[in-house]
Structure 1
Amino acid sequence: MTNSPTPFANSLTPSNAAPQHGPRPLPLFLSILWQETEGDPAFRERAFAGLRRFQRAARPQHERPVKSVSAQGRAQLLHYEAMRQKSGRLPVLFVPSLINAPDVLDLSSDNSLLRFLTAEGHDIYQVDWGSPDKEDKGQNIADHVTDILLSLMATLPHPPIIVGYCLGGTIALAAASLAPCAALATIATPWHFNAYPDTFRNQTHQAWKVAEPVCRDLGVMPMEVLQQGFWSLDPHRTIEKYAAFAEMAEDDLGYDAFLLLEDWANEGAPLTLAAGQDLIERFYGANIPGSGQWVVGGQSIDPAKLPCPTLAISSSTDKIVPAEACPSADDQLMLHQGHVGMVVGRSAKENLWKPLSTWLSAQGG
């Protein structure tokens, strides 16, 4: 059942809401910092200085030119206000990950994939999954497709071109298998979960086993449970970027971007209990999607059998979603930026935004 829309929902970045800024969980971050800086007191001092600066810095704010046009439970469908929208274009629906907020696709007024595409004439919509609570605990990842995403898609004026980022692409693949869809693009999307390093999969599984009793009491899985695994993929980089921030000038182009990105990475809503268990046990653990065993809405999901044009964007240097983990597609775009850098880095406009815009136009979007 669709709720009535709320105008201009999420128009302000919520980064200032937290009484203490991340990283989350802080004790784990400090443990990694201590290990990675052992034997290098200068590096350790810079890392601590960067951490203090990050926690105390004033946060940039920006308006998001969106309004909520429909809702399904806690989730909303956001529509970007037209800039130079061309008539006759199919709607383009962006599906973000469940793990982090959708803000990375619209980081700031001058660093935004979605605003760029809107300015290019595309009709851009975006899913905001909202924040689940204990009442949603039984909703697994497949339910996010059938109970939320398909319902929001049904409110669009035409079958959309869907673009999924990270785990949002995994979800979008299922939606494109079950409902009319003009085309599908995935960006850094995990599908073959057995391509992840065993260290990451084992650490994530162990963190879940420790946290599972508390998660069951809460009815949700806080993002901190996953953070240990993600940080383990590149622990030195996790600390080094804070050390670099300690010495960054406030007028440097990267200063505000660092604050926005790190807040985004640390302020993610929890996953529902069932979705978190799905992700760790059935996806990372058993590779259910990649082995052809993921059934959604009574249908086995196979990227090779989608009845629409497809594009898979991956990166040779992505440690969060290795290129080998990404799904097959009609068209492939291989980048050489990190998981987040490909979307918001200084070369993102040339390497990802423009090629994606061209592909969307070719599909009628």
Structure 2
Amino acid sequence: MLREQTAASPERRAAALAGLKRYQDAVRPAATRPMPARFRKGAARLRDYGGDGRPVVFVPSLINPPAVLDLTAERSIVRWIARQGFRAWLLDWGTPNAAMRNLDVADHVDRVLLPLIAKLPEPPLLVGYCLGGTMALAAAARGNVAGLATIAAPWNFAGYGDAARHEMAALWAAARPTCEALGLVPMEVLQSGFWKLDPARTIGKYEAFATMPDAEAATFVALEDWANAGAPLTLAAGRELFEDFLRDDLPGQDRWRVGGERITPGALRCPAIEFVSLSDRIVPAASAAGLSERRDSGAGHVGMVVGSRARSGLWEPLADWLRGVAAST
């Protein structure tokens, strides 16, 4: 990919490699201790971030760790919400093993997410990010939920466009035999798929990092460490993501079933809102679910959550919406 993107510019290639080396050599702070896990289901944990008021459960994607929602003390939407009159919780999906190979995305909703939120003292407000938003929507359709907010969450997978879906299909065809042998889909398979969605940006960000001021470098490293990390998916979840979602668009056609029930966004029984990025290359705006309320953002897939304008662009509007729903239920 580096050769393709910099074929006409050896200077750009050298800059990207210099940025990569700077990233590899960067000093990392000591890992922070995870917040306490109050409830458990299989490998998953529901972590308690404190606060008082209606419970708000943040549901991250199965892909990449949940840390993007709690990146640093200053860039943590979960910790900030806990100070806004809510009891904040963060779902940690944990690390699956090969024995869980048949647990697909729908099963993660039905057998993990719904049982965990049922342990809370009152119906929570769900906030789902990326694929976690897709799953939170299904949970809201199936369970007792006070309200639903999704952030950069795909639903109409045809919105990725034919070219991207073809790339993903080819990637899965090549990786599937190894994944079947492992019973898991390694993070590297998924990460290479993300790179293919926007290869120019992948190379460009390392070019820029080569000369990035030190004051900004720590955040870049933290985000890249998050993006390059993550537990594998179960085999069934990977198959469902690549085949039922990206290839066949079952959610977008109202054909995705969770616990035997067909999930239809328009039939949600609770208040719902989606926050959509208009510049997102990971989850294009065209893939949004079309919920009853929508707020658009100019920030990207990650920037809308942890960027310099995340507080005004997402955190505050989200808190206002959550307060309104909590007051009416």
TM-score, shorter chain, exceeding 0.5: yes
- Distance in 2, matches of 1:65 and 1:221, equals 25
Q: CA RMSD in A?
A: 1.3
Q: Give the structure 2 partner of residue 219 of structure 1.
A: 183
4+ residue stretches of structure 1 with deviation over 4 A? none
Q: Give the structure 2 partner of residue 163 of structure 1.
A: 127
CA shift digits 1:217-258 (9 cap, x unpaired): 1100112222233112221110111111111232x1x21111
Q: How far 1:360 moved relative to its partner?
A: 0.7
- Distance in 1, matches of 2:271 and 2:218, equals 37
Query: Which is worse superposed, 347-356 or 195-204?
Result: 195-204
Q: Give the structure 2 partner of residue 331 of structure 1.
A: 293
Q: Which amino acid aligns with 1:153?
A: I
User: Which of 120, 140, 143 is equivalent to 2:84?
Assistant: 120
Q: Give the structure 1 partner of residue 173 of structure 2.
A: 209
Trace 1:207-356 onto structure 2 (pairs within 5 A).
207-250=171-214, 252=215, 254-356=216-318
SS of 1:292's partner is: coil
| Runs of 5+ unmatched residues, structure 2 | none
User: Which of 10, 17, 20 is equivalent to 1:41?
Assistant: 10
- Distance in 1, matches of 2:173 and 2:200, equals 26
- Distance in 1, matches of 2:151 and 2:88, equals 16
Paired residues, what number?
Answer: 327
Q: How far 1:62 moved relative to its partner?
A: 5.4
- Distance in 1, matches of 2:36 and 2:191, equals 31
SS of 1:66's partner is: coil
Q: Give the structure 1 partner of residue 72 of structure 2.
A: 108
Q: Give the structure 2 partner of residue 78 of structure 1.
A: 47
Trace 1:162-181 onto structure 2 (pairs within 5 A).
162-181=126-145
Trace 1:86-97 onto structure 2 (pairs within 5 A).
89-97=53-61
- Distance in 1, matches of 2:235 and 2:166, equals 19
* Contact in 1 for aligned 2:35/2:47 (Cα 8 Å): yes
SS of 1:351's partner is: helix
Give the TM-score taking structure 2 as reference length: 0.97
SS of 1:195's partner is: helix
Q: Which amino acid aligns with 1:212?
A: R
Q: Identity of counterpart residues, as a percentage?
A: 47
SS of 2:296's partner is: strand
Give the TM-score taking structure 1 as reference length: 0.87
